[in-house]
Structure formats: structure tokens, C-alpha cells
Amino acid sequence: MYPLKFHPILKERLWGGTKLAEKLNKPITSDITGESWELSGVKEDVSRVANGDLKGTSLNELIDQWGERLLGRSVMERFGSEFPILIKFIDAKQDLSIQLHPHDELARSRHNSFGKTEMWYIMDADEDANLIVGFNQPMTREKYVRSLEDRTLLDYMNYERVKPGDTFFINTGKIHAIGAGVLLAEIQQTSDITYRVYDFDRRDKEGKLRELHTDLALDAIDFEKKDDFVVTYERKQDVVNPMVDCPYFKTQFLNLQKDLVRDTQSRDSFTIFMCVHGEAVIANENGSASLKKGETVLLPASSARIEIRTSGCELLEVTV
């Protein structure tokens, strides 16, 4: 199997904008496009190949045909034939709702789904743009419920000013929101389960307030104040810089000014590259694919050697 690119699945959102087209050259058709799903096995939103002989083939069909040669034996032992992560680019023209995601056990019992652990890599940010991540003081269930009742929740939120290159790891249960003016790359478990707890009293295009999940969220929130979300990593040139290593995915940062060869013969996982700056050609034994800023490529676990040809690019390398 050669390096595979997929058609983006574009999602309109109440808070979306036009940066996915302006910054990442996505073929959006509205000025409220909030998400580009780059690689998805989510039911009803399964990615399809955009290049080569397998063009038009769905990700699930590839898994059925190639199995562990695509995913990796250990990946299939853990996750079966379900693609375990979801790759996105997100453009927030307005603030997203304040939300959180359940852990695996709770998501499985309530929704027959994985939980949603995720990470964000900031690609572009307006001046003074920020994120909400966690609480700014110790919280209790009682204090949280009272803040919803008296509409003071925002007073307890922790705001983080952001700039390109900043990276955040969002555990399940951590309350969070992407702020207006932020364009980011997101890597997450395959799950679309979100508990929305506050939405700034916004109304949808039909004039209705969006649904909140106050009761569901109560048993899922981590009320502790934890400063565990900022990812500290190096940006050394032409080497592999570790970023995140969690049970669901591993991400490394590549800041390349010349070609690099990755020996993946013993890697029992597929490999994903997200291009966040510049351009490259990604090749394995069976072919190659060009990769520009805002594009994503998937290489099968059977790849023994991956060659990155470039004169300048920044990549997120993702494995399981």
C-alpha cells in the first residue's frame, strides 16, 4: 500500500469561519465551516481515498481488505477493526461552547463509544486569542452547580493565551473551549461524544438555543485544578521531537530542512503525517504522495521505511 491521502469531510458549525480555505486551501462552500475531518472512521463520516489506484475506497473497506497490514497487529488487538483516532483541522471564528468529554468506561456504558482524549496544535491565532482549559481554582461539584445556577461559570475558567506552535493535551473530564480566532490541528480518539455545559446563550440558524448536557456532564467532569495540559516539547531541526505519548496515540514534531528517513520496520502501527507548515513528499516502498500545509497522509503499518523529502516543512507524526 502506497501513502494514502483522503478527501476532507467539511463540517459547518455555528462558530466556524473561512480560515480553512484561506490558510489551508480547503474547498469550503460556506463562511461558517468549522472543521475539516482529515481521517475518520466515525460512522456516517468515513473517509475515502483521494489518490492513486485506491481512489474512492473507504477507510473501512481498506481495513477489511488489509487488516493488520494497514493498522498493525497490536492496534487491531486493542481496537479491532475500528480506526482508533480521528484527525481534524478546526477553525474557530467564534468561541466554541464550554464542554468536556467522558472517559472510555462512561462513554461505553452510555453511548457504546470510545471516550475522547485529544490534543491541539495551534497553527494560527489572532492577536489575544485564547483557549479555556480547566478551572482557575479548586472546584467542587457543589460550587460548579452553583456557578451554573447564578451564571458565573466564566469566573472560574482558566484562560490560556496562544500562539502558533503551542500544544495542549486535553484529558477526558477536563472542561475546555477553543477561543475565537484560533486555527488548530486536532488529534483525538475516535469519538464524537461531547457534553456541552455553556454556550454563551447563542442561538442556531433556526433561532433555538443549543442543547446543553448539564446532567450528563456532572458525572464526567474532573473538578480538580490541574496544570497538566500544556505540552512542552523541543523544535530541533532534522530530528524527531517527542510531544505526546498517551495510551491512545503518540505524536512527534518534525521540523525538517532536509530529507529524513524513518526506519519503521519494527513499528507495529500505521503512521499519519499532518503538514502544519511547508511541503514535502512522503514515500514508502510502494509509492509517494505530495504533502502541503493543511494536508494529511496515512501510511500502512507494513511500511518498513518512510522517506520524507523536503527543503522545509513542519510535520506532526502520529502513531498508536
> Tens digit of pLDDT per residue, the chain (320 long)?
999 999 999 999 999 999 999 999 999 999 999 999 999 999 999 999 999 999 999 999 999 999 999 999 999 999 999 999 999 999 999 999 999 999 999 999 999 888 999 999 999 999 999 999 999 999 999 999 999 999 999 999 999 999 999 999 999 999 999 999 999 999 999 998 999 999 988 887 788 888 899 999 999 999 999 999 999 999 999 999 999 999 999 999 999 999 999 999 999 999 999 999 999 999 999 999 999 999 999 999 999 999 999 999 999 999 99
225 domain-assigned: no
Contacts of 6 (CB under 8 A, 6+ apart): 38, 39, 47, 48, 49, 50, 59, 296, 298
Same-domain status, 158 and 204: yes
DSSP bridge partners of 133: 176
For the chain, the distance separating the N- and C-terminal CA atoms, rounded to the nearest angstrom, is 19
For the chain, how many structural domains are there in total?
A: 2
Same domain, residue pair 162 and 74: yes
- 246 lies in some domain: yes
What are the backbone angles phi and psi of residue 127, rounded to the nearest 5°?
-60, 135
For residue 33, how many other CB atoms are within 10 A of its CB?
A: 22
Q: Are residues 141 and 270 in the same domain?
A: no
- Active-site choice (151, 196, 210, 305): 196
* Coil/strand/helix, residue 93: coil
| Residue 214 near residue 97, CB atoms below 8 Å | no
What is the model's pTM?
A: 0.95
Domain interval for residue 256:
240-319
176 is in an annotated binding site: yes
210 in catalytic set: no
